Structure 1
Amino acid sequence: MLRFGNMTKAVAVAASLMALPTLAAAEIFKGETAGVGDPVHTMFVAFANQAGKGDVEIQVNAGQTLTKSMLKGGKGEIAFFSTVPSLVNLMSGQKRMYEKVEGAPEFAKNLRSIVGFKAGAYHPVTLSGSGIEGWGDLKGKTIFTGPPAGSASATSEALIKIITGYEAGKDYTAVRLSWGEGYTALADGKIDMMVRPAEIGSANIERFGLSGEFRVLSIPTDKVADEQMQALFGRPGRGVMSFDGGVYKGQLTGGDITALGFTQFIGTHAGVSDDVVYEATRSFWENIEEVHNTAFFLKEVTKESAFTSINVPLHAGALRYYDEAGFDVPADLR
């Protein structure tokens, strides 16, 4: 009888433990974004932090190439990722970096979106003393245009060609490195110019004015209306924008700077639970004031800008929240 009693107690204790939620049972979702200092990293971390308040734990793997992260998202290998709208068309059309990826168009169909945002502008940065004071001075120079596998390098080189007619590898040396290596190379004088997508007022750009002077080249007025430039502005996730050059200490270009603006979005895939994405989205927007306090450029993440440049359908969980909260959801995102 004693042994039977102990067994009964043991079964009762085991049953009670099974009924309790445990940390081990909580799912941790993989997420990928760009490196520290990139606006998409800032936004993604802000999203992950707020999602955590809704009991959606996202493990952020930073310093990743967005082209690869979106592919992994389409394959269902990660649950959340940062990406660029222009990459969606490349994946669905199996072009450029996705040309040899078997099944790329099918993976693209699996992509879903959560929230879009205005990320910043392409900054063509050159230090004083580089011999570059205008676009015509780029001939024969060494220019960092972006990472080897990303889309930014192709965009930077297209921008230079439209303005100057100069071709990478022929009229100037295009250097492709990681973002961090690009900053270091410019600071060390190993390159003459860096073209860097960054938020307006970026601390990484500002640092070049803390110990000296630098220039951010502005797109010439007569080039803005150029047919090729308008085509570049019209690509998904792109557009013309201007900002006050005085936002940066030590920046030598006076007045407003005309630049190629860019937008990005946080994505997921169709296989992630509706409830998970709903809770992550709800928690993000219910704590939007805290998001706004994270960085100056995030103040533009609002109810009106939530779907900026998104070109894949919203995840069903995100859509459920937006409908409940009264957001004006574009029909093509449903």
Structure 2
Amino acid sequence: MFHFRKIAAAMAVFAASALASTTASAQIYSGETAGVGDPVHTMFVAFANQASEAGVNIQVNAGQTLTRSMLSGARGDIEFFSSVPSLVGLMSNGARMYETVDDAPEVAGNLRAILGFQAGAYHPVTLAGSGIESWEDIAGQTVFTGPPAGSASATSEALIRIITGYEPGEDYEAVRLSWGEGYSALADGQIDMMVRPAEVGSANIERFGLSGEFRIFSIPEDMVADEDMQALFGRPGRGMMQFEGDLYQGQLTEGTITALGFFQFIGTHVGVDEEVVYQATRAFWEGLDEVHASALFLQNVTPETAFTAVNVPLHPGALRYYEEAGFDIPDELRP
């Protein structure tokens, strides 16, 4: 004799189980990164695209200030985010932009890393005809140094200070805008100079040479060994880089350009499931050919650079993949 009530109940349990499985596999994880056109954005999108191949679906929220994204990540409000090595110590110590954030030192311990990469270099740019042909010519001029709430503006101003001795607000006017507004302000002549972190070979920098000529200032050779400059190179996520001036069409500075390089990493937090991070990490490295094809500067991402500038412990899921794949893991990055 059939028991229709029992059959119906069993079918309901099966349907609920199937729905739960589908929901788990279709979970959307939140991710935050910089604006479109920024190398940090390019790398994060490449990571998210590869992660999706393993069923880890990351909704990318671009155009974010990374100081806030890292705090949101540390609090567990988002799962994945672009991370700035120089901000880790500031958050841990409740300094500068985190000075009024009561829980910053406590939640900083939740930060975990997935992989690091060389993002690009600071490009000090002036247009031909601006009257600025050397670092000293910045005196009395308006200079875009970065967004109001980010760390890039402080770094740009430190670079100018070390080379010229000039102070923002005294010797020149430091203008802080969003990244997109900075590009437009220089193109429209509203500012005289822009100091912009960008990938080497950036299309956004190149565009100034498509309609005219421009200069990228090189760090003077006699300043490279300066104690303060070496300290700037030695900060977390910083270093010296060099590239040829003729890399960009219309660029007037001849020879090799010495620049302040910047490095970042893709981060997560301790509360994200180990299997999720493992699958995302594995998919990224197994799809490295696709990553390399997506942007020229990403060809520098290799297993040898996986831990570049990473200054928080690896997430257990990422660590599991690197151990299985035989990566050379620094001891200080083991949780």
TM-score of Structure 1 vs Structure 2, range by shorter chain:
over 0.9
Task: Report what 2:275 is aligned to.
Answer: 275
Shift of 1:84: 1.1
What one-letter code is carried by the residue in structure 1 that aligns with 2:287?
N
Give the Cα separation in 1 of the matches to 2:8 and 2:244: 71
Does 2:80 align with 1:80?
yes
Separation of aligned partners in 2, 1:74 and 1:307: 20
Give me the whole-angstrom Cα distance separating, in 2, the residues matched to 1:84 and 1:297. Answer: 18
Give the match for residue 14 of structure 1. Answer: 12
1:186 to 2:177 alignment: no
Partners of 1:13 and 1:282 in 2: CA distance? 37
Cα distance in 2 for partners of 1:134, 1:261 equals 20
Q: Does 1:258 align with 2:244?
A: no
CA distance in 2, matches of 1:37, 1:327: 30
* Equivalent residue number for residue 208 of structure 1: 208
Q: Residue 307 of structure 2: SS of its match in structure 1? A: coil
- The answer for the alignment partner of 1:196 in structure 2 is 196
* Distance in 2 (alpha carbons) for counterparts of 1:104 and 1:18: 40
**Secondary structure, aligned partner of 1:291:** helix
Letter in 2 for 1:293: A
Q: How do residues 197-236 of structure 1 correspond to structure 2 at under 5 angstroms? A: 197-236=197-236
1:13 Cα deviation from its structure 2 partner: 3.5
3-state SS, counterpart of residue 304 of structure 1: helix
Provide Cα deviations, 1:217-266, integer angstroms capped at 9, x if missing partner.
00000111111101000000101110011111000001110000010000
Question: Can you give the 5+ residue segments of structure 2 that lack an aligned partner in the other structure?
Answer: none
CA distance in 1, matches of 2:80, 2:107: 14
Partner residue of 2:248? 248
Instruction: Report whether the alignment pairs 1:287 with 2:312.
Output: no
User: How many Å separate the matches in 1 of 2:22 and 2:61?
Assistant: 21
Inter-partner Cα distance in structure 2 for 1:258 and 1:281: 33
TM-superposed CA distance for 1:105, in Å, is 1.2
Tell me what 1:99 maps to. Answer: 99
Moved more, 99-108 or 19-28: 19-28
SS at match of 2:276: helix
Separation in 2, partners of 1:66, 1:326: 31
Matched residue SS, 1:47: helix
The alpha-carbon deviation at position 83 of structure 1 amounts to 1.4
Partner of 1:331: 331
Who is 1:53 aligned against? 53
Task: Give the letter aligned to residue 27 of structure 1.
Answer: Q
TM-score by length of 2: 0.97
State the 1:16 CA deviation. 3.3
Q: Deviations over 1:145-202 (max 9, x none)?
A: 0000000000000000100011000000000000000001001000000000000000
Aligned amino acid, residue 51 of structure 1: A
Q: Secondary structure at the match of 1:20?
A: helix
Equivalents in 2 of 1:184, 1:9: separation in Å? 67
Question: Per-residue displacement from partner, 1:37-81 (whole Å, max 9, x unpaired)?
Answer: 110100000000101111111110000001110011111111100
User: CA shift at 1:275, angstroms?
Assistant: 0.7
Structural RMSD (CA): 1.3
Partners in 1 of 2:125 and 2:308 — Cα distance?
Answer: 27
Q: Deviations over 1:257-301 (max 9, x none)?
A: 000001000000001111111011011111111001010111111
Displacement of 1:23 in angstroms is: 4.7
Match of 1:63 in 2: 63
Alpha-carbon distance in structure 1 between the residues aligned to 2:252 and 2:89: 37
1:84-139 Cα shifts (integer Å, max 9, x gaps) = 11100111111100111102111111100000000000000111010011101000
* Whole-angstrom CA distance in 1 between matches of 2:177 and 2:216: 20
Identity of aligned residues (%): 71
CA distance in 2, matches of 1:189, 1:317: 49
Task: Give the match for residue 134 of structure 2.
Answer: 134
Partners of 2:329 and 2:167 in 1: how far apart?
Answer: 42
TM-score in terms of structure 1 length: 0.97
User: Unmatched 5+ residue regions in structure 1?
Assistant: none
| Length, aligned pairs only | 332
Q: Which residue of 2 aligns with 1:27?
A: 27
Q: Is the partner of 1:133 in helix, strand or coil? A: coil
Q: SS in structure 2 opposite 1:140?
A: coil
Q: SS at the partner of 2:235?
A: coil
Distance between the aligned counterparts of 2:236 and 2:274, measured in 1? 27
